[in-house]
Amino acid sequence: MSNRSFLLIFIFLVSCMSSQDISNSNLSSFYRSSDRLFHPSFEVYLFKPDSARLYVRFNTKELLYVNAGSDRVMASLKIVCRLLESYEAPTAYDTVEKVFTLPQLEGNSTKVFTLDIPLPKKQIYLLEVTLADVRKNTSDMFFLGLDAAS
């Protein structure tokens, strides 16, 4: 009798526990641009058979500007671009990273930043572009297709 009651209590307790591996991720930012931190536009061009250039048009008002001393206010934008095989096989062929330090300017706040990406072979790639505000310690990730097969 005691073994049976112990087994029933044990089964009851185990069934009431939740799994610790369950995670809730808000993926709406991938299809709802208003939920994103940054609102850039991207263009990618092949300028050599083995190289592509990524152009990022970015509104610098979306960055946090911090006093850098001597009456200068600066922001830092970090762009990391990973060259991937595909969504299904996220093998990284290369990673390019560049940090841009920007003074706060009056007037037009849209800037264009460039990164050169080496291409190891002719095929269709996936670019994973991460934009990070270094001062605010926030980032946002974007995905672009790159057809280097032709």
> For residue 33, which phi and psi values (nearest 5 degrees)?
-65, -20
For the stretch 110-141, pLDDT in tens is 999 999 999 998 989 999 999 999 999 999 99
The encoded tokens of residue 90 equal 């996220």
Element (H, E) at 16: helix 2-16
Q: Which residues pair with 111 in a beta bridge?
A: 58
Helices (H) and strands (E) in the chain, counts: 1, 8
The encoded tokens of residue 73 equal 């206010």
The encoded tokens of residue 29 equal 């930012």
Higher pLDDT, 22 or 92: 92
Secondary structure E strands in 5-137? 41-48, 51-59, 66-67, 73-84, 92-103, 110-118, 124-133
Higher pLDDT, 15 or 38: 38
For the ranges 18-27, 59-68, 121-130, the lowest mean pLDDT is seen at 18-27
pLDDT at residue 69, rounded to an integer: 79
Rounded CA-CA distance 121/11 in Å is 56
For residue 100, give the amino acid letter: F
Rounded CA-CA distance 145/16 in Å is 45
